[in-house]
């Protein structure tokens, strides 16, 4: 009896990499899975694999970045499996450049896929869950967003990607605060794993071990956390961002007000420098930006 029995989950970007592993893991725990990917053949291959293993799945290639096409994903999920319980916002792209070389297209494409892609399905389902809750139905729903270490600590050459992922971390906090009253729990994860987006940049670091040792960057290592967050067992956890890699799970500590000084009146510009120096000396240093 799996921990997600009788739950339906939509996973974006599920035709490969992390999303593929999430899809198989959810199915193994009893969930019906909507495998969404812009590559129809990849989505269908994952769907076929789940069905061969005795699970329930539906392939879908609709665009997650527009409300109209995202609604088709929701409608297909309802038609195939009924109620929807879990959304895993996993799809993403990279357009890595140094900031001074980045084009407007590089910026807009990443923001569209990551931020709009996280908005559209989440908003449609959140409205459904809110209406169900207001109608007196019991809602036990989950949104699982995907941030990144690039968004939490920064990464050289990824200003667009890091800014989008930082936005997703902040979005998670606000969704969790707003939707808790309707029975919706919202969390995010920042995974480190071998995928099509990381293989090129971190190929040497993330290559499979040749000696049969534990494959630290196998994307399947991340799936158990995601499946647990999508299950009914995670009802007490919301508004968290988890970092995960190999066998490691950590909870990220977000921005919070640190050391302060209050003059009790307006500062003179010449006075500010000494106050800032005092505050910076007292503050806990931020983690180093990756690649710096």
Where are the extended beta strands (E) located within the chain?
8-12, 32-36, 56-60, 86-88, 141-146, 184-192, 241-245, 248-251
List the structure tokens of 14: 């599920």
Name the active-site residue from 22, 122, 155, 165.
Answer: 165
Name the active-site residue from 147, 148, 155, 231.
Answer: 148
3-state secondary structure of 290: strand
Dist. CA 142–CA 130, nearest whole Å: 13
CA distance to 18, 45, 64, 190, per residue, from 120 (Å): 21, 25, 7, 20
Q: Is 207 a catalytic residue?
A: no
Q: Is 165 a catalytic residue?
A: yes
Q: Is 101 a catalytic residue?
A: no
Length of the chain: 292
List the structure tokens of 227: 């499946």
Name the active-site residue from 122, 161, 231, 234.
Answer: 161
Dist. CA 236–CA 277, nearest whole Å: 40
Dist. CA 185–CA 239, nearest whole Å: 8
Can you give the C-alpha Rg of the chain in angstroms? Answer: 21
Dist. CA 54–CA 70, nearest whole Å: 27
In sequence order, the 6+-apart residues with CB closer than 8 A to the CB of 67 are: 120, 123, 124
Catalytic sites, residue numbers? 148, 161, 165
């Amino acid at each position: 009896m799996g921990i997600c029995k009788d739950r339906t989950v939509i996973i974006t970007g599920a035709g490969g990499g992390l999303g593929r592993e999430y899809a198989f893991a959810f199915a193994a725990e009893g969930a019906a899975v909507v495998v969404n990917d812009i590559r129809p053949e990849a989505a269908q291959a994952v769907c076929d694999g789940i069905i061969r293993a005795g699970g329930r799945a539906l392939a879908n290639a609709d665009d997650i970045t527009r409300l109209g096409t995202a609604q088709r994903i929701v409608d297909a999920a309802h038609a195939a499996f009924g109620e929807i319980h879990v959304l895993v916002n996993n799809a993403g792209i990279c357009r890595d450049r140094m900031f001074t070389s980045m084009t407007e297209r590089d910026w807009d494409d990443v923001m569209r896929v990551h931020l709009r892609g996280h908005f559209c399905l989440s908003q449609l389902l959140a409205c459904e869950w809110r209406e169900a809750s207001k109608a007196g139905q019991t809602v036990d729903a989950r949104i699982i967003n995907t941030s990144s270490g690039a968004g939490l600590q920064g990464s050289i050459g990824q200003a667009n990607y890091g800014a989008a992922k930082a936005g997703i971390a902040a979005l998670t906090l606000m969704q969790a605060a707003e939707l808790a009253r309707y029975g919706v729990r919202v969390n995010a994860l920042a995974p480190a794993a071998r995928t099509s987006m990381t293989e090129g940049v971190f190929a040497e670091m993330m290559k499979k071990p040749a000696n049969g040792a534990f494959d630290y960057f196998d994307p399947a290592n991340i799936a158990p956390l995601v499946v647990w967050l999508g299950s009914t067992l995670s009802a007490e956890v919301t508004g968290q961002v988890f970092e995960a890699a190999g066998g490691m799970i950590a909870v990220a500590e977000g921005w919070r007000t640190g050391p302060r000084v209050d003059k009790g009146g307006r500062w003179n510009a010449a006075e500010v420098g000494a106050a800032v120096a005092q505050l910076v000396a007292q503050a806990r240093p931020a983690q180093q930006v990756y690649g710096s």
